Amino acid sequence: MFSKTSISYLDKNKINSYLKFKKKKNLNHYISLIKKGSLPRPYYALGMLLAANQALNLGLNKISVLEISIDDYSGLQDLFQHKLDIESVIPVTFEIIHLNAGSKNFNKCNNIRDRLDFFNLMKSSTIKKNIKKNSDIKIFKKNFVKDLDLIKRKLKNPLGFIIFDVNNFTLTNEAFKILNISPKKILPKPLLYFDHFYRSSEFEGEFYSIKKFNDKNKLRKISDILELPEQLSISWNKWLYLAKRLKYFINFKHPKFKSRIKTII
């Protein structure tokens, strides 16, 4: 089940549309739900579906999704439900990994580019983890830096979708270390999601972290997905900005970078 907070963003028509899908599941209906924004966090569903389609075209049947956030497990709950729904319409399964950067680490950040005028000091959250014990879900919350390295070393299934939700420039830079991973452990063009572009400048926060990463790397880039927001906005106008939060991670050195991937949406 999706988190209550996420469900609250849907009107009755969208909820009913999703319930109809649950009674008779098929891929085309699910794609329609995404296009019309009739799912909680439809951008999570879109990132997961695009990653699953890429994996399927590469002959893979299991991939990993990594969410990096701060003391908030509501996104993990939604990812779990998206996992169940997508697995019911496409022959790819997901391993979900959650890495908690922690409010203590956030509160230590004091870089001028951390959008200090927008995000205040955080308190540890008491959000309940309503996630059933499952071998395909792993939670890391002991030490952000060490856990990040541990995930890179122990990852069993290639990363297909990574969610960056750590609010600022400093922690996003740290989280980008996950992109320095063996090509065997990541898709040629994995999807990335950034949650905090809202009214940011080009010289702060996640946006500047991306710019810094691209300036530093010649053959590894974080790229917009051209025309995706405009095409999806025909079905639901909010995609005009929500889809801009989705990016490709481009690695020209990936051995399967030139593999043909058929579009699904």
Task: Report the pLDDT value the prediction gives residue 130, as an integer from 0 to 100.
Answer: 55
Task: Read off the pLDDT of residues 50-59 as tens digits, 9 standing for 90 and up.
Answer: 999 999 999 9
CATH code, residues 4-251 = 3.40.50
Task: Report the pLDDT value the prediction gives residue 129, as an integer from 0 to 100.
Answer: 53
Q: Give pLDDT < 70 ranges for the chain.
A: 122-133
Task: Report the pLDDT value the prediction gives residue 192, as an integer from 0 to 100.
Answer: 98
Task: Report the pLDDT value the prediction gives residue 28, as an integer from 0 to 100.
Answer: 97
Would you list the domain boundaries of the chain? 4-251
Query: In this structure, what are the phi and psi dihedrals at residue 156, rounded to the nearest 5 degrees?
Result: -95, -35
Give me the half-sphere count of Cα atoms (radius 13 Å) on the Cβ side of residue 133.
Answer: 0
Give the distance from CA 160 to its chain's centroid: 9
Report in angstroms the alpha-carbon separations of 33 from 6, 38, 113, 181, 250: 15, 5, 37, 33, 28
Cα(253)–Cα(251) distance, integer angstroms: 5
- The backbone region for 68, taken as left when phi is positive above 0, alpha when psi lies in -120 to 50, beta otherwise, is beta
